[in-house]
Structure 1
Amino acid sequence: MKAILCNEFGLPESLVLAEIPSPSPAKGQVLISVKACGVNFPDTLMIQGKYQIKPPMPFSPGGEISGIITAVGEGVDTFKVGDKVFALTGFGGFAEEAVAEVSRTLLMPDDMDFITASSVMYTYGTSYHALKNRANLQSGETLLVLGAAGGVGLAAVALGKIMGAKVIAAASSDEKLALCQEYGATELINYEKENLRERIKTITNDKGVDVIYDPVGGHFTEPAFRSIAWKGRYLVVGFATGSIANLPLNLALLKGASIVGVFWGAFSNKEREESMLNFQELLQWFGNGQLKTHVHAHYSLAQASEALNEIIHRKVMGKLIVIP
């Protein structure tokens, strides 16, 4: 089979397209013919050796796949050959075939296509876990989403609307903000042109924001945190700018605020029943049309490096998909 391989840590240009043997499913695993694979920010970190998980070399990036089961491992009785599924693999998805643990594999709804199925788990799984389990976002509260047009950001905007929040989207261009408005944001901040703190003060009548969703980090973190409301929750989701800010902790004291870490990958492993419950709720919303994915572009395996570079340089609105 064909696969994109990371033979040494580095930038996307160091990846190679190679012909390798097909994997075999072990006990409790299934083998999937990959029809689509979502491209996510952790993929860019993993190939550089900057992620919490460091797979053994060589490996294929790509942790979120959809496809058709072609073989099942020992003890697997919940899936059969021919089932259409989507799965979290962690890595291995930029390939024509990949193995997945049964515990991290779901049947695709009949009305869901492979592209949509490969773009649900990371972005919507992360954002729903953040807003529901970590922030306990309530209807009527105010939600600020930084990097709001990216994959997880746009998912947070859409979910915030469904959960009854007033959603403020902050992004780096008017084009990105227009997309956020389509997904449910009622207030927009272009933080390349506008003062983030002053706009938040105006929008909230100086009350501040109840929940801040931050997948960006860097120099936006402190002004955003200074704009948090009393008993607000600051969700630390990621660091797309590549910089981790240092916060004066007295701000948390003065605001009675919480700084809350969001590590969805660990949650999906450690609290699998709750994670699967979240997905059941998400699939209901996709089924009735309340949620949808925005796919920015499709790429072939040979173009996978280009897709990863688009993520690194923050040129993406919504999701990128690799189609083997």
Structure 2
Amino acid sequence: MRSLQVTSLDGPDGLRVVEVPEPEPAARQVLVEVHALGVSWPDLLLTRGEYQVKPPLPFQLGVDLAGVVRSAPADAPVSAGDRVAACLSYGGGADVVAVPTEAVFPLPDGVSFAKGAALPMNYLTAQFALATRAGVRAGETVLVHGASGGVGTATLQVAKGYGARTVGVVSTEEKADLVRRLGADDVVLVGGFLDAVRAVTEGRGVDVVVDVVGGDLMTDSLRSLAPEGRLLVVGFTGGAIPQVRVNRLLLNNIDVRGVGWGAYAMVRPGFMHAQWDALLPMIESGVVDPPVGATYPLEEASRALTEMAERRVLGKSVLSLR
């Protein structure tokens, strides 16, 4: 079978598609025939050796996937022939993969494999951020930085699923058009976003800020919060890790909360399945509908990662295997 492997830590240029034997599932593993593989930011970091998980070379890339179950343990939540989505820290990029039962989720019939491969990590992260870390409530206002990116679009949709008003922050008008199509209530450009947010909230501010960008947005993000607001730190795609002037937290009783979904979920059996159960009604109703921006064959994984890194694709990039 084909396997997408990182052979050197030179970014996407270090990727190779090689032939390897099919895996033999261990106890409590589900064997999945992969139809689609999501292209994610952790994949890019893994190719550079910059991710928190650092497997020895060579290793099989692939975080998000969707496909059909070939075999499963009797006590697994899925059975042979079922359509599924799944996520791994790495290792999902092959024609057939063995996945722990904890990380395999039923995929509704109406959801394509490409969209299924766009769901797990981003939408589980968004659900964890909003429900577990922020405790978002219907009627609250959620601001999302990097709103056109993978976690950003997921957060906008999940927030709508919880009954929140959403404000998307983007860098270009092209991205603003995408975010509007995804259902954001308000969209503002990142340049001068604080004044724009104050205008659309009539001076009150927002209840929750979800920040996947980092960099120099932190101070104005704190200023954009209403009293008792929560700022969620999800990532640093902008590159720089900001510093917090903690005196600002006192003024309006503001919280800054970290969002480390993987570290939390991976050590709590059943947690990811409970998350998926919370997302399923949103998926089935169409509130959660991941935008697939581009599809590539497996052999063009290097190009897919490069174009994602250069932000040339709006929406989720997906590799098609079948």
What's the TM-score, normalizing by structure 1? 0.93
Which residue matches 1:269?
266
Counterparts in 2 of 1:78 and 1:163: CA distance versus 1, 3 Å: closer
Whether the 8 Å CA contact 1:146–1:213 is kept in 2: the answer is: yes
Q: Which residue of 2 aligns with 1:18?
A: 18
Letter in 2 for 1:226: R
Is contact 2:148–2:315 with CA below 8 Å preserved after alignment?
A: yes
Equivalent residues of 1:3, 1:18 under 8 A apart: yes
Give the aligned partner of residue 192 of structure 2: 195
Provide the secondary structure at the position in 2 that maps to 1:99: strand
Tell me if 1:143 matches 2:142: yes
Is the 8 Å Cα contact of residues 142 and 206 (structure 2) preserved in structure 1? yes
For 1:45, give the aligned amino acid: L
CA distance in 1, matches of 2:82, 2:157: 29
Superposition deviation, residue 131 in structure 1: 0.8
CA drift at 1:261: 0.8
- Is 1:128 paired with 2:127? yes
Match of 1:211 among 189, 196, 208: 208
How far 1:94 sits from its partner (Å)? 2.1
Bigger mean CA deviation after superposition, 203-212 or 289-298: 203-212
Which shifted more, 80-89 or 49-58? 80-89
SS at match of 2:300: helix
1:185 partner letter: A
1:295 aligns with 2:312: no
SS in 2 for 1:188: strand
RMSD between superposed Cα atoms in Å: 1.8
Shift of 1:288: 2.2
Say whether the 8 Å CA contact 1:89–1:99 is kept in structure 2: no
Tell me, yes or no, if the aligned pair for 2:85 and 2:119 is still in contact at 8 Å: no
In structure 2, C-alpha distance between the alignment counterparts of 1:153 and 1:78, rounded to whole Å: 29
Counterpart of 1:138 in 2: which secondary structure? coil
Does residue 238 in structure 1 map to residue 260 in structure 2?
A: no
SS in 2 for 1:179: helix
CA-CA distance at 1:84 after TM superposition: 2.4
**CA deviation after TM superposition for structure 1 residue 304, in Å:** 0.6
Q: Secondary structure at the match of 2:167?
A: strand
Letter in 1 for 2:27: K
Distance 1:112 1:203, change over 3 A: closer
How far residue 57 of structure 1 moved from its aligned partner, in angstroms, is 2.1
Q: Is the 8 A contact 2:3 2:93 kept in 1?
A: yes
Residue in structure 2 matched with residue 317 of structure 1 by the alignment: 314
**Deviations 1:154-190, CA, capped at 9 Å, x for gaps:** 1111222222222111101111111211222122111
Query: How far off is 1:76 after superposition?
Result: 5.8
Distance, in Å, in 2 between the alignment partners of 1:148 and 1:79 is 33
Unpaired runs of 5+ residues, structure 1, are none
Letter in 1 for 2:36: A
Give the deviation of 1:56 after TM superposition.
2.9
Letter in 1 for 2:278: E
Report SS of the residue matched to 2:266.
helix
Shift of the 111–185 alpha-carbon distance from structure 1 to 2, 3 Å rule, reads closer
Q: Give CA deviations for 1:105-125 in whole Å, capped at 9, x if unaligned.
A: 123223332122211111111
Classify 1:198/1:77 alpha carbon distance in 2 versus 1 (closer, same or farther; 3 Å).
closer
Any unmatched runs of 5+ in structure 2?
none
Return the alpha-carbon distance in structure 2 between the equivalents of residues 141 and 69 of structure 1: 39
Mapped contact 1:235–1:259 kept (Cα < 8 A):
yes
Aligned twin of 2:68: 68
Distance in 2 of aligned mates of 1:43 and 1:300: 16
- In 1: Cα distance, 2:279 partner to 2:78 partner: 21
- TM-score scaled by length of structure 2: 0.93
CA shift for structure 1 position 29: 1.0
CA distance in 2, matches of 1:309, 1:222: 31
Task: Please give the per-residue CA displacement for 1:231-286, whole angstroms capped at 9, x wherever unaligned.
Answer: 11001111111211112121112231111111111232133434322211211221
